Structures are given as C-alpha cells and as structure tokens.
Amino acid sequence: MSPGPAASDRPVLQVVVCGSPLARDIDRMLRPAVAEDWDVWVVATPYGTRFFDVDAAARTTGNPVHSSYRHPADPVDVPYADVMAVVPATVNTVNKWAAGIGDTLALGLLTEALGRDCPIVAVPYSNRAHTAHPAFRNSLDLLRSCGVTVLFGDDFHPLHPPGEGGPSRDAFPWRRVWHTVRDLRPVRSRR
C-alpha cells in the first residue's frame, strides 16, 4: 500500500468499522471528528458494511466508505492516517490483526499502521462469552504491547451477556472514545 490522495492540511483519521450492532451508531464518532476539522475516512470490514448506513457515513465525512482492496491498476484512494480508531472492533478482527492476517482492507491498513507507528485506538465490542476466549485476551495483550490504546473491560464499558446487547449498546461511552482519539491529534501530519 502506498499513500493515497494528495495529503490534506487537516489530520487524517481512519475509522475502521467492524460487523457489530454497535456500528449503527458510528455517526457518534464521525460527527465530532468532522466538527473538529479532521479529514475522516471510514474503512469497513466486508461484514461491517451490513451494520451501518454506508451512504450516511460518506455524507457525514465527505469521503467514500471503503471495504475492499482496490485493483492494482486503480489509483490509491485512501490517504495514510495520522490516527486510526477501530470501533467497534470485533473479536474476529482483533484476533486476525494480532496474528498479522491482512485478508481485508481494514486489516491490511491496521497491520501497516502498526509498522508506521501510527497511533491506534482499538475499542472491542462484543458479548461476555465471545470475549472470554483466551485467544482474544492474548490478542489484546499483544496489541497493547505494540502501542495500541485499547479501550476495553468493565472499567471502560461493562460486558453484556449474549443476546442482551441492546441496553449495553445504548449506554456505550462514545464521548470517551472520541476524547481518547482526539487527544492523539498530531501537531503536524505524521505522513
């Protein structure tokens, strides 16, 4: 992957959206970023696109939502990020990312961002049963050791039992996520 469109004067925020019911509220992350003059790009996992209004996200950010690798002959159309946020991050994405698997555009960009020392905030969201798997906990530890800021656990947002995510989703601390990302804003572009 190489740099995309001409670099913006504004810091570039890539928001990776995974396939989780929490994704329906991604606008709560996008709107404050746009309001604070970030150049926001949404990159969704292939299943992530089923969980939020892709057209609304594109209208909010002013940029198209991407979910698949481009053809090698096509121009690069996603700029390097100054900061990345993975919200909601599914157990599947966290485990693949930690293992270095780049079988989606979202995972490829996340893997590359680690190598570029790009600040990344990962916000896993799933039920208590999914997150109890030992591979998931090991993956979080590995990502933290690579410098990823992980917002996860009962001190961040209590886990919910399988099938009971509605109230949990409604109480999700979007503002805290945004403040964590905003605090990583660079003085000048990292690209």
Mean pLDDT of the chain: 92
Q: Is the pLDDT of residue 143 over 50?
A: yes
Domains of the chain, start order: 12-182 (3.40.50.1950)
By the 8 A CB rule, do 40 and 30 touch?
A: yes
pLDDT for position 187: 67
Question: Tokens in use for 107?
Answer: 């995972």
Ramachandran region of residue 18, left (φ > 0), alpha (ψ -120 to 50) or beta?
beta
By the 8 A CB rule, do 82 and 13 touch?
A: yes
pLDDT for position 189: 57
